Each structure stands twice: as structure tokens, then as C-alpha cells.
Structure 1
Amino acid sequence: MAALLKGETGDWEMVIGLEVHAQVTAKSKLFSGASCEFGGAPNSHV
């Protein structure tokens, strides 16, 4: 349960999140067997 902070315009609830970015080194896409080669024609590796 989050604590509320008193403010002049009302109570505030502080919410803190974390976002993580990673680059996977694999020969195929994570959720598909399709190739992930760079430089192919548009929409050819879907």
C-alpha cells in the first residue's frame, strides 16, 4: 500500500517505475523462427 503525500491541490501518490532495454544476440527472433538478418528487403523477415 502506497503512502499519500499531502499537497496544496490534494493528495499525491508516488509511483516509481523501471524500464530496461536489452539487445539479444540470437540468429532468430525471440517469438518466431524467422531470421533476424540486417539489410533485408522491407517486411521480408516477418
Structure 2
Amino acid sequence: GPVLLVLEILLLIAWKTAGYYGLDRLFFKYVGAPWKPGLWFQKKKA
């Protein structure tokens, strides 16, 4: 109910703020996206 609505709104505000300051570029570099894993999730080559 209302708690999830408030959490959703806060998440959207945080996402937009991070995008404005360019923090999402740093985030996606390390975490990655569904089509390209980030630095933390890449498999080591043997």
C-alpha cells in the first residue's frame, strides 16, 4: 500500500538525482546492465 508508494517515489527521485549528477555512469561501470556485466560481475579469463 502506501509504504510501497512512498518507497517507489523516493527511488525515482534518487534515480533522477543520480542521473543529473552523473553518478549513474559510475554505477553502471561497476554493476553493469543486463546486456553487459560490469567490472564487479565479469568472469575472470583463465
TM-score (norm. length: structure 1)? 0.25
More strand by share: 1
More helix by share: 2
